[in-house]
Structure formats: C-alpha cells, structure tokens
Amino acid sequence: MNDHKYIIDLHDINKSYPGVVPLHVLKDVSLGIEKGELVSIMGASGSGKSTLLNILGILDNYDSGEYHLDGVLIKNLSENRAADLRNYMIGFVFQSFNLIGYKNALDNVALPLFYRGISRKKRNALAMEQLERMGMADRATHLPSELSGGQKQRVAIARALITNPSILLADEPTGALDSHTSREVMQVFRDLNAEGRTIVIVTHDPAVGEQTNRIIRISDGRIVE
Amino acid sequence: MRNPIFDIENWREIGATLSQNKTRTFLTGFGIFWGTAMLALLLGGSDLLKKLMSRNFEGFATNVAVAFPGRTSKSYAGFNKGMPLDLNLTDITNIRTAIPEIEHSSAVNILWANAVYGQKKSSAQLNGVEPGYSKIFSPIIYAGRFINEADDANARKVCVVGRKVADEIFGSSEALGKEIELNGIYYKVVGTVGQTSEINIGGAPMDECVFIPYQSMRSSYNLGNKVNLFMMTIKPGHSPGEYENLIRRLVARNHPIAPDDRAALGFFDISEQFKMVENIFTGITLLALFVGVGTLLSGVIGIGNIMWIIVRERTHEIGIRRAIGAKPRDIIVQILSESMVLTTVAGIAGIVFASLILGAVQHLTGIAAQLPFTTAMAILVTFLVLGTAAGIIPAFKAMQIKPIEALNDK
C-alpha cells in the first residue's frame, strides 16, 4: 500500500527496544500525511511519540512495516544514505534548539549546506536569505548565547529550511519558550504551512495542537484517532 | 567523493572550530608543544653533553699508543733482573719497518730545562720531538709553526714554545724570531703552541713545554741513540693493541731481555681508554633514547586522552551535525584533521622553542648544541603519526555517535 498522495506514509510500523523485558513501543502504527499538511502528533510522555518522531526523521530504525518518505522507502539504510536523506529531505526543529554554541547564527544556519559540499560564499548567502525571512538578519553574527529563546528557535527554523526539505519535523518546538514567544513561533510554522510546507509537530501541549490543522493522538504505542 | 585534504571548505571548518574553542585548543596544543619541546631538548641536551665531554679530548687522536722503557723482571742471557731497558733508535727503525700500519709516529726525549730570555726565566719541560708529533696531538698553533721535517733532518737550533712559557718569558712582546737559552744552548723561536684537551702523555701539557727537534736534542745534550718515549697512531681500521706483542718481540730481539718479559717495555694503548669513554657516550645516547621514548609515549597518551575528552564533550555537537546530514566519514575526518593540524602547529612551536633554548645554551657555553633538522623533522613526524594514531580510537568513538543523541540530550 504505497499511495503517492501521502508524503509520509507509515504502514504497520512496529518498534520495540530489546532488554530483559522487551519494550514494545510502537504497535502496528499506520499513518498517512499529505503534502502541505500542518499536523501535530500528541501523546503523553512514554506514549511512543518520540520514537515515532525518530523514525519519521530517519534517526532510528523500525522492526517491521514500511515507511515511505516522499515516495522513497526508508528501510535498512546505510549510515551514509540515511545521512544524505536527512540532509536533503528533512528539516529538524528541536525543543532545546540544538544550535552549535561556538558558531554564530549565520554559520549555524549554513552548516547543513557544508555537508553538501557547497562553497562558503554560496551557503552564507543562502543562510542570510533564510535569516532575513525569519527577521533575524540583524542577529547574523551573534552567538546562540547572545540570543533569546524565541530568536534561537527562529535561527533553528532557518537552519531546518535552508536545505529546502520535503518535510519539517519539530520536536516540542515551544517546550522551552514562554507562552507569548510560543505563539510567535507557532505563527512562523503557520506562515510556512501557508506557503505549502509540510510540517509535523510533536507535542504534549494542547495549545500547540489546537493551532495545527490535524491532531494525531498516540497512546500506548497506537494511533488513537 | 570529496577529498578532505584538497577541500578548502574542510580546512575552513577545522580552522573555525579550533579558533572558536580557544581554551581547548590551547590546552591540547600545549600538551603537544611541551612533549615535542622536551624531546627536542633531551636529544639536543645529550648532544651538548657529548660535545662538552669530547672537548676534553679535542685535538687528540683516539688510536694512539705509547711504548716506553721499563725494567726487566726476569734474568736473561746472563743479566740480572731489574736491569733498565735502553730503548734506542734501532728499535724505532725496526718497529717502523715492521709495521706499515703505523700512520704517524715520533720518538720523544724529555729533559727539564730553564728557558731564559734576557732577565726572564721559566722552568719548562723540554721535549725533543719528530715532526710526526704534531700529527698525533694536533697542538693549537697560536703563532708561527711546529717543528717540521727540515728542522729535524738538519738538527736545526729552533724551538716551539708553549703559551704559558712564552707568556712568562716574553710577556706581551712578540716571541717569534727571538732566541732563547735552554740549558746553555740557544734556539730560535719559530712558533707558540697550546692545547685544549685535558689529556697529556709524557708529562706536562703543551702550554708548559718547549719543543725542539729530536735530532737537535740528541746532538746538543749528548743523548746518543736513547729514546724516552715512542708515540704512534695506527691507521684507521686497526687498533694499537693488535701490534703490542709484535712490538715487544721486535724490542726483545734487539736487547738481552726475555721474550716473555712484559715489564721490560711499557705499552700504553689509549684506544682502550677511549672505548670506556665511548661506552659512556653510548650510555648517554641510550638514556636519552629511553627517556625520549617515555616522553613521546606520555605525550601521545596525553593527546589520546584529550581527544577522548573532547569527543565526550562534543557528543551533543556531533549528534547535531549527524542529524543535519553529516556522514560518519565527515565526523572522523573532522576529528582527525583537527588533531593533525593541532599537532603540526604545536609541534613546530615546540621544536622552535627547544631550538631557542639550545641556542641560548650555545650562546652561554660556546658549544654548538644544535638540533639537526632531520632529528627535528623526525620528532615532528613521529608525533604526527603517533598523535593521529592515538586520536583514531576517540575518532571512531565519535563516528559511532548516533544522531539521536542530539535529541535525547536536553
């Protein structure tokens, strides 16, 4: 069942972590997300939503089932192939921003292009463009430690967008922000979605979920609705 | 596939990482700097020590042997034991004819004399020598020349004065061309000499001697054919010891002494003494090598340790890099390149530092304590190779960091 109308297409995904008592985290998860959707995946802690995000982001393997991302089967990939697919297809936004502390905003945004072998001049120009879109052009030479939480998340979103990825994956993107800044960041996601970006946000915050077009609830390793 | 060595982007990234983590770069670099500097100083220092020691033997051939008359210890051919041996010119001729391996040689006679010039007087050892003497002992010639073939062949009344004697009788005035009296006979000064080595054979150092041709001494002071000492050097590839027994037989044949009477002729082989010195040199070299290898090892382990800590500290950063598209190879290249750049720069700094110190020592002692360029390069290359090897385990550890780490670590 590989329906190309879905950009993210999960079919009967199972994932368990080995141990004395093996932990069955994802149980027959099937999920389809269309191109241009703004979706949130919600669930309590321990529900399996982080594992689902890791699989969606090609950061982790799954045991059985099939995952197609933009028509590409993501299964048993080599480290190098996985790194390439992450670089070309996925933009990550993290709760703790995950900017490199000793690099300024511009260099952080440009870093994904370094691993594509793009020249410094070109990637800095592209990074500047992304920062301008995020309204962060005047902070380009600032280190992450010199930026507020909202500003850091804008830089992180700029970094996620610079590769023009198929999907944007956000893991609790507002978890470390106050409510006012959270709303601003969510507005950024809504604006990007309005431009046609496919965005998946993992969160446990109902206020965040409300601002997305579809909420997928996960509980005890199963999709609830 | 990109070749990291020819990829300017790769170098820029390494430069940025190193320069933006100044404390870490400095601390790692200092470890390598100190390791190379210590190793270079150790090797340069042992070289200096050897040179300091060998200054004592400067101008001294290491394959010298001296034969000199003793007393018989056995009665032989009707003569009682205890008879003094009269070494003479016939013995010398026999030895020179029989042993072509003798390179330079000189018969020497020794007297005590008062060197007198005007009102000034100095007590000196008077040596009658053949021209070969200067080939054996390489005196430092301050002025003029040493005794030559023509002086000896013609028994000229010329002398070469040791510097100390010259200072006493001539003071600051010119010595060359002056005539001095030695035990009632006048000689013209043709040279002044001295020595730097601490070794003397046949009495006083050259600075306290006056030299005249052997033939002049023999005829002036009625010494007949007598020879007090016979000095020789042996050609390279042979040692004087090989000829000791032959020399003893040659002398015994010419005198009424028992062929097996070793007391009749004294034989002193300096190369035996030098073997001891050479053993000390070997010891110094081995010690330097041993401590050097230890220094190298602790330096390399230090690099490995620091690289390990750096990788641990950067787990989160490496996770982020992997999440946004870095391949395992990108990470390993980055970690190894950083350590190689650091090792090269800090290593060169360490060697420059050691060279400066050795230069200062040279300035103070006047002894060239140089670190040969090849040794410096060898130290650098060794540190680079071993340092990189030590960085491989941490780099592989870094390579295995999963991008998930970036997400897990809050």
Three-class SS of chain A: CCCCCEEEEEEEEEEEECCCCCEEEEEEEEEEEECCCEEEEECCCCCCHHHHHHHHCCCCCCCEEEEEECCEECCCCCHHHHHHHHHHHEEEECCCCCCCCCCCHHHHHHHHHHCCCCCHHHHHHHHHHHHHHCCCHHHCCCCHHHCCHHHHHHHHHHHHHCCCCCEEEEECCCCCCCHHHHHHHHHHHHHHHHCCCEEEEEECCHHHHHCCCEEEEEECCEECC
Distance of CA A164 to the CA centre of its chain: 13
CB B27 within 8 A of CB B341: no
User: Pick from B264, B259, B250, B255: which is nearest to B72 by CA?
Assistant: B264
* Chain B residues with beta carbon closer than 8 angstroms to that of A175: none
- The mean pLDDT of B207-219, rounded to a whole number, is 93
CB B325 within 8 A of CB A86: yes
* Amino acid letter, residue A86: R
| pLDDT tens digits for range B216-246 | 999 999 999 999 999 999 988 888 888 999 9
Which pLDDT does position A144 carry in this prediction?
A: 94
Q: B256 vs A185, B84, B91, B249, B269, CA distance in Å?
A: 119, 11, 13, 12, 25
Residues of B in CB contact (< 8 Å) with A are 2, 7, 9, 12-13, 16-17, 20-21, 316-317, 320-330, 402-404, 406-407, 409-410
* pLDDT(B179) > 80: yes
* Amino acid letter, residue B376: A
CA B186, CA A205: separation in Å to the nearest integer? 120
Burial group, residue A167, by CB count within 10 angstroms (0-12, 13-18, 19+):
buried
Residue A194: inside a domain: yes
Task: Please give the torsion angle defined by the CA atoms of residues B30, B34, B40 and B42, in that order, rounded to the nearest 10 degrees.
Answer: 180
CA B44, CA B357: separation in Å to the nearest integer? 10
φ/ψ (deg, to 5) at A201? -115, 125
| pLDDT tens digits for range B47-106 | 888 887 777 776 667 788 999 999 999 999 888 889 999 999 999 999 999 999 999 999
Q: Residue A50 and residue B407: Cβ atoms within 8 Å? A: yes
Residue B245 has what DSSP assignment? H
Residue A201: inside a domain: yes
What's the Rg (C-alpha) of chain B?
Answer: 34
Residue A106: inside a domain: yes
User: pLDDT grade, residue B190 (50/70/90)?
Assistant: very high
Residue A1: inside a domain: no
ipTM of this predicted complex?
0.91
3-state secondary structure of B113: strand
User: Pick from B284, B306, B407: which is nearest to B31 by CA?
Assistant: B306
* pLDDT(A1) > 50: no
- The mean pLDDT of A39-47, rounded to a whole number, is 89
Which pLDDT does position B344 carry in this prediction?
A: 87
| pLDDT tens digits for range B271-293 | 887 788 888 888 888 888 888 88
Give residue limits of the domains in chain B.
10-56+276-408, 102-234
Which pLDDT does position B406 carry in this prediction?
A: 62
CA B359, CA B363: separation in Å to the nearest integer? 6
CB A36 within 8 A of CB A190: no
Which pLDDT does position B7 carry in this prediction?
A: 66
φ/ψ (deg, to 5) at A28? 45, 50
Number of CB pairs, chain A paired with chain B, less than 8 A apart: 75
Of B12, B316, B325, the CB nearest to A84: B325
Tokens of A2: 């590989």
Residue A144: inside a domain: yes
CATH number (domain holding residue A170): 3.40.50.300
CB B147 within 8 A of CB B158: yes
Residue A159: inside a domain: yes
CA B323, CA B332: separation in Å to the nearest integer? 15
Which pLDDT does position A36 carry in this prediction?
A: 92
* Chain B residues with beta carbon closer than 8 angstroms to that of A95: 410
How many Cβ atoms sit within 10 Å of the Cβ of residue B402? 17
Closest-CA residue of chain A to B331? A115
* Amino acid letter, residue B214: Y
* Chain A residues with beta carbon closer than 8 angstroms to that of B17: 102
CA B366, CA B48: separation in Å to the nearest integer? 11
Of A50, A59, A111, the CB nearest to B403: A59
Closest-CA residue of chain B to A108? B321
3-state secondary structure of B340: helix
* pLDDT(B407) > 70: no
Which pLDDT does position B1 carry in this prediction?
A: 42
Q: How many CA atoms lie within 13 A of B22 on its CB side?
A: 0
Residue A55: inside a domain: yes
Which pLDDT does position B10 carry in this prediction?
A: 74
CA distance B406 to chain A (A): 7
| Domain tally, chain A | 1
- The mean pLDDT of B373-378, rounded to a whole number, is 86
Closest-CA residue of chain A to B322? A83
Q: How long a stretch of residues is chain B?
A: 410
CA B136, CA B232: separation in Å to the nearest integer? 7
CA A158, CA A107: separation in Å to the nearest integer? 11
Helices within B160-269 (DSSP H only): 163-170, 214-220, 244-254
Instruction: Name the residue range of residue A108's domain.
Output: 6-224
CA A51, CA A221: separation in Å to the nearest integer? 9
Query: Mean pLDDT, chain B, as a whole number?
Result: 86
Q: Residue A119 and residue B9: Cβ atoms within 8 Å? A: yes
Of A16-25, B17-26, B105-114, the range with the highest mean pLDDT is B105-114
CA B308, CA B397: separation in Å to the nearest integer? 8
* pLDDT(B409) > 70: no
Higher pLDDT, B311 or A125: A125
| pLDDT tens digits for range A53-89 | 999 999 989 999 999 999 899 998 998 999 999 999 9
CA A217, CA A114: separation in Å to the nearest integer? 37
- By mean pLDDT, which of B13-27, B227-241, B262-276 is the weakest? B13-27
Which are the contacts of B229, defined by CB distance < 8 A and separation ≥ 6? Answer: B66, B67, B68, B107, B108, B109, B110, B201, B202
Flag whether residue A114 sits within 8 Å of chain B, measured between CB atoms: yes
- The mean pLDDT of B298-322, rounded to a whole number, is 84
Q: A53 vs A49, A109, B68, B143, CA distance in Å?
A: 6, 22, 100, 95
User: pLDDT grade, residue B167 (50/70/90)?
Assistant: very high
CB B79 within 8 A of CB B105: no
Which pLDDT does position A200 carry in this prediction?
A: 95
* Chain A residues with beta carbon closer than 8 angstroms to that of B405: none
